[in-house]
Amino acid sequence: MALFALTLVTARSCQRSQVRIPQERAVSTALAQVGFTPRRTQVRLVRQGLDGRPYWAVSLSVPDRSGSGYEHLATVRVDANTGAVAAVNRDVP
């Protein structure tokens, strides 16, 4: 019985660490969270927490005219397993 319980717990934790959401869907989810059209988009897969849960970190930006800063800048963290938005960070000039 203990082996069955251990197997069940292991299987559940492995499922949570899988990447099920494609990068393109993470970008479209992130775009829906910000109020601007980015000129630059960067996407990275990061793992966080003790269980290494995967997230897509989507950075969206519009550089300013001088090239030394941004008119708009936002980073959206999307759960790569469920597609849920975990965090939105906006840099408001």
The per-residue pLDDT for range 20-41, each reduced to its tens digit, is: 999 999 999 999 999 899 999 9
Q: Which domain holds residue 69?
A: 2-91
pTM of the model: 0.80
pLDDT tier at 92 (50, 70, 90 boundaries)? low
**Cα 37 from Cα 64, distance rounded (Å):** 14
Tell me the sheet residues that pair with 53.
48
The enclosing domain of 67 has a CATH number of 3.10.450.40
How many structural domains is the chain composed of?
1
Q: Which residues contact 82 (CB under 8 A, 6 or more apart)?
A: 20, 21
**Cα 50 from Cα 84, distance rounded (Å):** 19
Q: Which helix (H) or strand (E) segment is 43 a member of?
A: strand 40-48
**Cα 21 from Cα 53, distance rounded (Å):** 13
Helices (H), the chain: 2-16, 23-31
